[in-house]
C-alpha cells in the first residue's frame, strides 16, 4: 500500500489531484479489509524549506461476514454466484457486485422484474448478510412473430434470441 501511494505522489507530485488520489487509495485499502468507516485527512506544512505531507488515517471497527444467506421464494442455486464468503472481510463493493450478479442471473432465468436487496446490520465484528430476492413473475416466451413490411433475410430470424418455451430474458 505504501508503495502504491508513494508511486502516485512521485508521478503526480504535490498537485491536488495526486494528493486526493493518494488519500482515496488509503481509504479504499481499509474498506477492502472490512472497515466500514474510514477517515483520511491530509496535512501539508513547510519544514526547513521542504514540503512535508502527512496523511492521518482513522479506521472504524472492522466487520466480517458472520453468516451469509440468499432469501428467495423460488429461485435456487444462487449462492454459487456470490464472491462474498463467511469469515471474509465485509466489503460493500463486493456485496453490490454480488447483488448485480444475482439480478443478472434472475433476469437470465426469465424473472424480468426481479429485485435483489442486500441487508447488513450496522456494526463491527461478525455480521449477518442476507441477499433478499424478490423474483416477481417468471416470464416464458409463448410465441415469436415478426411483422415487417419487407421480407426478412432467411438467417435473420434464426439470430433472434427469443425462443418459444424459453425464459424471456431482458437482454434478448
pLDDT tens, position by position, 16-33: 777 888 889 899 999 999
Question: 91-150, pLDDT tens digit by residue?
Answer: 999 999 999 999 999 988 888 888 999 999 999 999 999 999 998 777 777 777 777 788
Rounded to an integer, the average pLDDT of 38-61 is: 88
- Per-residue burial over 76-115, b if 16 or more Cβ lie within 10 Å, else e, is eebeeebebeeeebbbeebbeebbebbbbbbbebbbbebe
Quick check: 152 pLDDT over 80? no
Q: How many residues does the chain have?
A: 172
More confident residue, 108 or 64: 64
Give the per-residue pLDDT at 71: 94
Query: Mean pLDDT over all residues of the chain?
Result: 85
Give the per-residue pLDDT at 14: 63
β pairing state of 125-134 and 115-119? antiparallel
Amino acid at each position: 500500500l505504501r508503495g502504491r501511494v508513494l508511486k502516485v505522489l512521485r508521478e503526480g507530485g504535490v498537485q491536488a489531484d495526486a494528493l486526493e488520489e493518494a488519500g482515496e487509495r488509503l481509504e479504499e485499502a481499509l474498506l477492502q479489509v472490512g472497515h466500514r468507516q474510514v477517515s483520511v485527512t491530509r496535512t501539508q506544512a513547510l519544514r526547513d524549506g521542504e514540503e512535508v505531507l502527512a496523511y492521518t488515517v482513522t479506521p472504524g471497527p472492522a466487520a466480517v461476514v458472520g453468516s451469509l444467506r440468499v432469501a428467495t421464494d423460488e429461485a435456487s442455486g444462487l449462492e454459487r454466484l456470490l464472491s462474498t464468503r463467511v469469515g471474509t472481510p465485509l466489503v460493500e463493493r463486493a456485496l453490490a457486485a454480488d447483488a448485480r450478479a444475482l439480478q443478472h442471473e434472475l433476469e437470465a432465468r426469465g424473472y424480468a422484474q426481479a429485485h435483489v436487496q442486500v441487508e447488513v446490520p450496522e456494526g463491527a465484528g461478525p455480521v449477518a448478510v442476507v441477499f433478499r430476492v424478490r423474483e416477481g413473475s417468471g416470464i416464458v416466451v409463448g410465441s415469436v412473430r415478426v411483422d415487417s413490411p419487407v421480407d426478412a433475410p432467411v438467417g435473420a430470424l434464426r439470430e433472434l434470441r427469443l425462443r418459444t418455451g424459453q425464459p424471456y430474458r431482458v437482454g434478448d
